Amino acid sequence: MKRLPSKWRPVVRSAIKTYHGTETSDYRAVLRRDARKFLGFASVRIIAFDSTWDSRQPHIAHLRKRERRAGR
Q: Decide: pTM greater than 0.75.
A: no
Any domain includes 3: no
In this prediction, residues 36-46 reach a mean pLDDT of 86
Count of all residues that appear for the chain in the document: 72
How many whole angstroms separate alpha carbon 37 and alpha carbon 10?
Answer: 13
The total of structural domains in the chain comes to: 1
Query: What residue numbers bound the domain in which 32 lies?
Result: 8-70
| Cα torsion 27, 28, 34, 40: sign | positive
pLDDT at 17: 96
> What is residue 36's three-state secondary structure?
helix
pLDDT band at 1 (very low <50, low <70, confident <90, very high): low
CB 63 within 8 A of CB 47: yes
Any domain includes 34: yes
Q: Who wins on pLDDT, 16 or 48?
A: 16
Any domain includes 19: yes
